[in-house]
Amino acid sequence: MLHFLARRLPSVVLMLVVTAVIAFLLPRLGGGDPAQVVAGSDATAEQVQAIREQMGLDRPLAVQFVDWAGSVASGDLGTSLISNRPVAQLIGARLGSTLELAGAATILMIVMGLGLGILAGITRKGAPRALLDGAISVLLATPPHVTGLILILVFGITWRLIPITGEVSILDDPMRGLSYLIMPAFALALPQAAMIARLVDARMAQVRQEEFVDLATAKGVPPRRILLSHVLRNSLGTAVIATGIRIGEILAGAVVIEAIFARQGLGMLAVSSISARDYEVVQIIVLFAVVIAVLVHFLSEILLAALDPRIRLDG
Amino acid sequence: MSANDTHPPHPAGRKLRVGAGMARYLGAFRSPRGMIGGGLLLVMMFAALLAPVLFPGGVDLQTRDNFQPPTFAHPFGTDEYGRDIFVRCIYALRVSLSLVLVAVPFAMALGILMGLSGAVSRRLGEICQRIFDIILGFPSLVLGICIVVAIGAGWLALAITILVFSLPQFGRLARGALLTEQNREYVLAARVLGVPKRRIMTRHILPNTLDPLLVQASLSMIAGIFAEAALSIVGLGIQPPTPSLGTLLNVGIRYVYAQPMYTAGPIIMLLLLALAFNLIADALNAAVLKAKRA
Amino acid sequence: MTKDDLLSVRDLTVEFGPDRAPLRVLHEISFDVARGRILGIVGESGSGKSMTAKAVMGMLPEGGRIAGGEIRLADRNLVGLDAPQLRRLRGRDLAMVFQDPQAALNPVKTIGWQIEEALTVHGMSARDARSRALDLLRQVGIPDPETRIDEYPHQFSGGMRQRVVIAIALANSAPLIIADEPTTALDVTIQAQVLRLLVELRERLGVTVVMITHDMGVVAELCDDVIVMYGGRVVERGAVGDIFAAPQHPYTRALLRSMPQVAGDRLARLPAIPGATPDLAHLPPGCAFHPRCGLAEEVCRRTVPALAPIPDRPQSEAACHVAQREGRLPPEPMREVEANAARARRPSPAPILELQDLRVDFGSRRRLLRREPPFYAVDGVSLQLFPGETIGLVGESGCGKTTVSRAIVGVNPLSDGRIRVDGQDVTAFDAAATRHVRQTVQYVFQDPYASLNPRLTIRQILSEALEQRGLPAGEREAECVRLMEMVGLDRGYLDRYPRAFSGGQRQRIGIARALAVEPRVLICDEPVSALDVSIQAQVINILADLRDRLDLALLFIAHDLAVVRHLSDRVAVMYLGRIVEEGPAEEVYARPRHPYTAALMSSTPRPEPDPGAMARKSVLRGDPPDPRNPPSGCRFRTRCPIGPLVHPERRICIESDPALRGEGRHRAACHFSDEVTRPAEESTT
């Protein structure tokens, strides 16, 4: 197992480094001179130059990067040049909303993904099979923002069942919070759930063809037990890895979903910061999203290794 | 082992020889799914292409009433300035289709090159794989945000986002196919015969990698169309006043109570595009499987 | 069915597909198995033998159904039982052993769990199941069962896994075990272990076995009775001794004749069966064998013959119009069998191909952070091949024989050693050397389905090869036709795609492609091992003919000793990356001087019925060691029947690596090569 993890580690580290570099470069790529922004539009060239030196922007990029990475790693996320507030504070204010959304969506995704996948996996023929296949295909092909808009049109406009925009924290008022949360969470979760379902279904079909399933039948094992101990047990790894990848997509999808449902989360913060050219905030949010995606993926690989004796014992 | 020594089945005449590989892809459009998908796509492409001819008034032609409900003359109703939403949707198709029809083929070509680069140098192949890993490590929209920040929102940023994002799909498929094909005995046989490397690549490996890549291309088209919508909805894609399906939704969602068709119209267009490409992907897939089984 | 019969199958008919247009895959199969006997069901691909096993187990694949007949297991008809009833029978009253031990065990459950499951689902308590599982592991010869019971399948070797599968089959003391090609996926020395285990279990526990196999040798050595299947029907049925002595169906007879032998006279040409095995979906009318039968008459083309006793040989039953009418199967006309015509070879002093201390490293692929230690799949192989000569390179899977052959043509890079082709050193494989190799050495591959590009017509495939020879485009047409005729294919096939051809035909096309550049050396890597037995002989004959006509040198790689013996002038035996014995074929087969060669020969099943052969065989113990980590000294010592395992005082085997040596051209790498028992002596003692 340690071997396996050690083998995976370089790519995790590489991914983190690349992300850090990209996040670091974002403000520079975005154009505009930070020193100019700080100095204001009617500052003289000398003033700007002084501020540039003061901010350390005249040093080589590599030095600036090490400096920046060091301070981020030690918890100093920097200061917004636009609002002059610490980035950590800006993000902190929005974190709760996004966590609620992403958390709810993740739970929905896992439950629906595994549920649909297993249901499809055990329904091998006839009309129910075609129905499940069709449902998964449609959900799979429709991304979160489109799903979200359709949900709004159906439940918010046509039937007027659920409020479509705005939010209340679940912690403050669970019932109302939930009613605001349910549509965006579903919109975010459904396409990813369909992806998991498709993979689980395909894997189960594949395991079913394995000779050890025939051997279990030849042993006289009842069908339900074959399904659980042999087919499902050997499909778990696929489900775990699929889930691990999809959680990153949920975070990214939150950007658009928050815009559509007018939720004041990190996604909205990212979007408004881009429009305001507040790149110090954007870079931290990007870093944050990728680091979480990478770590969740790595976690899912650890879980996979724990589930599979071939990796656990030898890999 | 179906054949008998004296009478192998299916005597294939000389005529069939020409482009038997191409024939199977064209055959995909003879199936019902392929026909519907292809037809739908053609209609939308023509509508987009001929929009200035069909609707000479252009996108900004205003009627007297804003927020008109759907009528025969204005199937999707009118917007806050009284402009025909349907006409704006048709014009928006130009953006969506031009984006994916440019970016996806580019991504496919580049992806194949990068995926097959392992045949030239093992190290180069490995490097390309790492690049794909990194791209895939980024949640899709985060990648889009980075690109938008770097080069500024607009058609080009979207095209690059779609290209970068679909690159690994093609690259990995091409590489996977390369790795299996490379060790196929008929490729080894060609090597042992002394067939030049480039010839082996174009004649023996590339044609056999094309099947999954074409299917993936249709799927990437869908992903690209939706990516445009996603980024434009949040204001990071196409910039107003140019109508795109995403920018229409961006504004439409604000007026969702006053004019639901403002949101529903672009969504219908998105779903029709997705349906068309999905049907084509399905038909290609079926044709490929059929050719394999025969 | 007599009261001795445990299993009795009557007129079993199996169909697939929709009711209106069913595809019948099994036609009125009937056979009985008496208690304590081993019945062999033998047939080639598409004969329906595995389907028969699945039907008896009640495990037909989806879409299949029993359309008629009955299956009686100890007076109980299994046809018509519902799923739960069948399930309760499976594993308890009849059990099954599968073909591929790699795939037959659940990778995420321990061995113990999987054996215990077989017991607990039939009602045993968990505690009893555990001790029974330990017991079973001991019975099937798994060493150290207390530890190994908690290990996972991937920690077992292929042979050990098959023992575990057998333990599962034995778990509930089912009286009937159906074994579906249980040794096909195993190497010949491991196959011998598993077959011997089955014989021991039969003697010790009195189980009845139905053995499904394509290998007549396995039938002869293991089975008491046999049914021969062809085209979804039983074509012959009887005791093994009778059928092997005097087969009464033309197919059985032809099959037995077309097999090359490990012992006995060597024939110049194998009497091959023409044509290909039929597809169950397109059976010829009448007797399914008639298109390939030398005795076929008008009636054979029209009516399906019934399985009936043959008048002059009432103990055998055969489904043949001719044999039934004549009273016995008449000799077949027009099949010449020349005996042992020695090929005249011109003495030629210079080898056309020379390998010197070849080493191929498979290990050290550079990774991101570390370099894996080298692992030599081929470790110091030297060989000389003279023009017009055939060398057979024999060994089990993983011994490095394919690696050697691919190194010769530059596909696997060398890490050490030299290769000379026609006197020219090509070790560097630079442009000039590569061209020289390509023109001199060609390759015939194992898998007829993978060796032809499915997207090119035969004409395109051959033209590409001719182009490499430098033939102008205008002359290629005529040359394509000549090549096709050379391998016995009609020129009209040139514009077809590979999928239109059977396995044997594809292999001929592969040979034609290799010959297109007019090579002087042909490397054949297991060219017949993927083919049905009845097709093998065709391809072997073509290779032999072409070799003699074109004066080709052949490096013939195979795991099948009989095939190698048939074709080779000299034989080299490989074990774990080394050549352990080398010499003239007749001498090596008659008097092996390495214990491994002797064991290989003794392990190879021979199609000569010999009750008790199994018990007398010298069967190698254990598995081949990991080639990454070969044993010190002699690499064979961990399994050697005359080495330190049996004679602990023989330290030399552990300490010193024996070199190839011996008098004349017959050399072996063994410190005690004088003690090697001859297979001939062994079978008479």
Question: Residue B292 burial by CB count (10 A; 0-12/13-18/19+): exposed, middle or buried?
Answer: exposed
Contact B226, B249 (CB under 8 A): no
Find the mean pLDDT for residues A42-46. Answer: 81
Touching subunits for chain C (3+ Cβ pairs under 8 A): A, B
> Does some domain include residue C486?
yes
Q: Count A/C contacts: CB-CB distance under 8 Å.
A: 87
Strand partners, C14: C26, C66
Confidence bin at C14 (pLDDT 50/70/90): very high
CB atoms within 10 A of CB C245: 12
Residues in chain A: 315
Residues C501 and C541 both lie in one domain: yes
Chain C within 8 Å of B190 (Cβ-Cβ)? yes
Confidence bin at B3 (pLDDT 50/70/90): very low
Confidence bin at A257 (pLDDT 50/70/90): very high
Encode pLDDT of B44-76 as tens digits.
Answer: 999 999 988 888 877 777 777 888 888 888 888
Contact C645, C638 (CB under 8 A): yes
Lateral strand order in the sheet of C225-230? C94-97, C176-180, C208-213, C38-42, C225-230, C233-239, C313-318, C308-310
Percent of chain A topping pLDDT 70: 99
Q: Is the pLDDT of residue A219 over 80?
A: yes
Residues C474 and C367 both lie in one domain: yes
Q: Is the pLDDT of residue A162 over 80?
A: no
Strand partners, C12: C29
Residues C157 and C299 both lie in one domain: no
Query: Measuring CA to CA, which residue among A52, A55, A91 is closest to residue A283?
Result: A91
Beta strands in C285-362 (DSSP E): 308-310, 313-318, 353-361
Chain C 595-654, residues with CB within 8 Å of chain B CB atoms:
none
Q: Which of B8, B11, B189 sits opposite C501 (nearest CB)?
A: B8
Residues C322 and C361 both lie in one domain: no
- Please compute, for residue B185, the number of CA atoms within 13 A of its CA located in the half-sphere on the CB side: 21
Query: Measuring CA to CA, which residue among B255, B257, B263 is closest to residue B81?
Result: B255
Find the mean pLDDT for residues B91-113. Answer: 94
Encode pLDDT of C241-287 as tens digits.
Answer: 999 999 999 999 999 988 888 777 777 788 888 888 888 888 899 99
Residues C561 and C592 both lie in one domain: no
Residues C279 and C367 both lie in one domain: no
Closest chain B residue to the Cα of C445, Cα to Cα: B185
Final residue before a domain boundary, out of C129, C145, C173: C173
**Three-state DSSP class for C625?**
coil
**pLDDT value, residue B1:** 37
- Please compute, for residue A160, the number of CA atoms within 13 A of its CA located in the half-sphere on the CB side: 3
Encode pLDDT of A264-310 as tens digits.
Answer: 999 889 988 888 888 889 989 999 889 999 999 899 989 988 888 88
Task: Please state the three-class secondary structure of A70-132 as a single string.
Answer: HHHHCCCCCECCCCCCEHHHHHHHHHHHHHHHHHHHHHHHHHHHHHHHHHHHHCCCHHHHHHH
Between CA A249 and CA B224 the distance in angstroms is 16
Are A220 and C168 within 8 A, CB to CB? Answer: no
Q: Which candidate in C50, C54, C108, C163 is best for mutational testing of the A interface (most A CBs within 10 A)?
A: C108
Angle at B167 between CA B163 and CA B170, to 5 degrees: 130
**pLDDT value, residue C364:** 55
Touching subunits for chain A (3+ Cβ pairs under 8 A): B, C
Boundaries of every domain in chain A: 1-70, 90-276
Q: Is the pLDDT of residue C664 over 90?
A: no
| CATH number of domain containing C550 | 3.40.50.300
Average pLDDT value for chain A: 88
Residue found by looking up tokens 């905030």 in the block: A281
Between CA C233 and CA C30 the distance in angstroms is 9
Using CA of residue C288, residue C291, residue C296, residue C299, what is the dihedral sign?
A: positive
- Please compute, for residue C480, the number of CA atoms within 13 A of its CA located in the half-sphere on the CB side: 21
Chain C within 8 Å of B6 (Cβ-Cβ)? yes
Residues C486 and C561 both lie in one domain: yes
**pLDDT value, residue B16:** 38
Give the CA dihedral C215, C218, C219, C223, nearest 10 degrees.
-150
Pinpoint the alpha helices (H) of C121-247: 126-139, 145-148, 158-170, 188-205, 216-222, 240-245
**Three-state DSSP class for B139?**
coil
Between CA C571 and CA C574 the distance in angstroms is 10
Contact B128, B118 (CB under 8 A): yes
**DSSP letter at A155?**
I
CB atoms within 10 A of CB C279: 16
Are A308 and C108 within 8 A, CB to CB? Answer: yes
Residue C157 identity: S
Write out the residue range of the structural domain in which residue C305 sits: 233-326
Phi/psi of residue C97, each to 5°? -115, 135
CATH 1.10.3720.10 matches A90-276 = yes
Beta strands in C291-440 (DSSP E): 308-310, 313-318, 353-361, 376-385, 390-394, 416-421, 424-425
Task: Report in angstroms the alpha-carbon separations of C595 from C11, C311, C561, C630.
Answer: 49, 48, 15, 18
Q: Count A/B contacts: CB-CB distance under 8 Å.
A: 111
Percent of chain C topping pLDDT 90: 58
Phi/psi of residue C29, each to 5°? -80, 130
Structural domain total, chain C: 4
Chain B within 8 Å of C455 (Cβ-Cβ)? yes
Are A310 and C103 within 8 A, CB to CB? Answer: no
**pLDDT value, residue A38:** 75
**pLDDT value, residue C265:** 73
**pLDDT value, residue C500:** 87
Beta strands C570-575 and C521-525, pairing class: unpaired
Residues C536 and C594 both lie in one domain: no
Average pLDDT value for chain C: 88
Contact C50, C93 (CB under 8 A): no
Strand partners, C32: C8
Are B267 and A150 within 8 A, CB to CB? Answer: yes
Q: Is the pLDDT of residue A261 over 70?
A: yes
**DSSP letter at B16?**
G
Judging contacts by C-beta atoms under 8 Å, the chain A residues touching residue B264 are 153
Final residue before a domain boundary, out of C173, C197, C225: C173
Interface ipTM: 0.87
Confidence bin at A178 (pLDDT 50/70/90): confident
Find the mean pLDDT for residues C159-183. Answer: 93
Residues C547 and C473 both lie in one domain: yes
**pTM for this prediction:** 0.87
**Three-state DSSP class for C341?**
coil
Q: Which residues of B touch A (CB under 8 A)?
A: 130, 133-134, 137-142, 145-146, 148-152, 222, 226, 229-230, 233-236, 249, 253, 256-257, 260, 263-264, 267, 270-271, 274, 278
Chain C 554-573, residues with CB within 8 Å of chain B CB atoms:
none
Q: Which domains does chain B have, with CATH numbers?
A: 43-56+74-293 (1.10.3720.10)
Query: Measuring CA to CA, which residue among C563, C627, C632, C179 is closest to residue C392?
Result: C563
Encode pLDDT of B9-36 as tens digits.
Answer: 333 333 333 355 666 677 778 888 889 9
Query: Measuring CA to CA, which residue among C57, C54, C94 is closest to residue C74?
Result: C94
Q: ω into residue B241 within 30 of 0, thus cis?
A: yes
Judging contacts by C-beta atoms under 8 Å, the chain A residues touching residue B263 are 149, 152-153
Cβ partners under 8 Å of residue C210, min gap 6 = C7, C33, C38, C39, C41, C53, C56, C176, C177, C178, C179
Contact C137, C110 (CB under 8 A): no
Confidence bin at C685 (pLDDT 50/70/90): very low
**pLDDT value, residue C363:** 64
Are A289 and B133 within 8 A, CB to CB? Answer: no
Q: Is the pLDDT of residue C1 over 90?
A: no
The two most distant CA atoms of chain C are separated, in Å, by 79
> Does some domain include residue C265?
yes
3-state helix, strand, coil in chain A (%, to 5): 80, 0, 20
Encode pLDDT of C26-68 as tens digits.
Answer: 999 999 999 999 999 999 888 999 999 999 999 998 889 999 9
